[in-house]
Amino acid sequence: MRETITKEMTQVKLMIAETVAKRNSLKIEMEDWYSRFPAKKFTKLTDLNLIDGVLSELDSHYKRLWDFNNAQTKGA
């Protein structure tokens, strides 16, 4: 079976990549924060949690699109 990738799926993949880049940047910032202020809470922890939520939603959306566009009909 050949995989179908729609324009919307391509856009979602791009959004996932951009969101991962933002997440990675924040994680680097967090590591730096804790190396400088080990006893203080990272001030952008809420942002990191929100990005994780967005990433999860994008991933789920892509999976639904993939399943819809690449499902084989039973009995075919």
Tens digit of pLDDT at every position of the chain (76 positions): 689 999 999 999 999 999 999 999 999 999 999 999 999 999 999 999 999 999 999 999 999 999 999 987 544 5
Asked if the structure places residue 47 within a domain, the reply is yes
55 belongs to a structural domain: yes
pLDDT reported for residue 76: 52
75 domain residue, yes or no = no
In a domain, 1, yes or no: no
Cβ pair 9, 66 in contact under 8 A: yes
d(CA 27, CA 75): 47
H, E, C per residue of the chain = CCCCCCHHHHHHHHHHHHHHHHHHHHHHHHHHHHHHCCCCCCCCHHHHHHHHHHHHHHHHHHHHHHHHHHCCCCCC
- Could you give the number of structural domains in the chain? 1
Amino acid symbol at 41: K
Position 2 in a domain = no
Q: What average pLDDT is seen over the chain?
A: 94
Range of the structural domain that residue 33 is part of: 7-70
